[in-house]
Every structure is written in C-alpha cells, then in structure tokens.
Amino acid sequence: MAEVLVVDDDPDIRMLVAFALEDSGYVVRQAEDGAHALGAIEAGAPDAMVLDVMMPGIDGFGVLRTMRQRGMAPNTRVIILTCKTEERDHLRGWELGADEYLTKPFDPEDLVARLAFLLASTTEELTARREAELQKAELLDRLEAAFNRPRPRAAGTGFETLQHRF
C-alpha cells in the first residue's frame, strides 16, 4: 500500500489523519513541522503527503517551494489541509505544485477518497487539473478587478439636477 507523510504542528490533527489513513490501509509517517517534513522526504520520498500550511518555522508553502526548487519527491502527491480559506491561498498552493486543497474542518472519509483519487491519477492528469485551477483563479481575478474598477460618470445624466431639487 502507498506511504503517506502527514505534516501538521497539531498532534491531534496528525493523529486523526494518521488513524483515518491507516484504517484505509496506508502506511503513515508523521512530521510535526516543515523542517521535519523536509528531513522525512530526504530520508525517503512518500507516495503522498498531507500538508498543513500554518506551522512554525517553515510553513507548508515553504515545504512545497523547497521540494520543487530542489527537485525533491517529484512524484509525491500533495494534499494541502489547512484553515486558510482565501482564494489567494488556494492559488498559491496550486502555483507551488499542490495536487489538492482541503480546508479544516474536514471529513476524514473525504480526505481518504481524495487521496485515493490522486494516487490513481497520472502525472499528466494532475498537471492538467492544476493548470485548469490556475486558469480559473486568473479568470476570477480579472472579473473581480473589472467589477471593482471605478466607473466614469456619464455627463448630463440628469442625476445632478435631481440632487439639487432635494
């Protein structure tokens, strides 16, 4: 069965995730922060990683960035599991090479199902999915910018006259 590295500074979250994964037949290793995660990856690349973002020292985004810069574990599937719900956080995760993004609180069964999906997917399928997510985020940014742009007032709309009457 596949080996999964669970990285989270909260021991309760680590244990919950580890229990759900082990119960589904996965071999689980754990790391309490980004530095320990990088050490665990150097010792042997896991098939997948469940990675928290907000951790002391090296955060989850830093782990992903370091992995990609050093060419570490290029075939490791990465699920970000975090409290960060902002669209720009999702975008950052996709840009750094995450394969999935889940927010806390989460359903352990959903996590297991998504992990199984990732492990069954080809690298090409995951790359195409990541690119689609990045394109979607870019489109949302452009739409948001278009709707937030100040619009010039048309001269002589009659509104000015109404203001003076009241």
Domain boundaries, the chain: 3-149
- Helix ranges (H only) for the chain are 11-23, 34-43, 60-70, 87-95, 108-120, 123-148, 159-165
Q: Which residues pair with 29 in a beta bridge?
A: 5
pLDDT digits (tens, 9 = 90+) for 70-114: 999 999 999 999 887 777 777 788 888 899 989 999 999 999 999
Report which of residues 117 and 149 the model is more confident about.
Answer: 117
Comparing 16-20, 35-39, 100-104, 145-149, the range with the smallest average pLDDT is 145-149
Contact between residue 134 and residue 94 where contact means Cβ atoms under 8 Å apart? yes
Q: Note the pTM of the prediction, 2 decimals.
A: 0.81
Phi-psi category of 110—alpha, beta or left, where left has phi over 0 and alpha has psi -120 to 50?
alpha
Residue 29 burial (CB count, 10 A) = 18
| Domain 3-149 grouped into CATH 3.40.50.2300 | yes
> Is a pLDDT exceeding 70 seen at residue 145?
yes
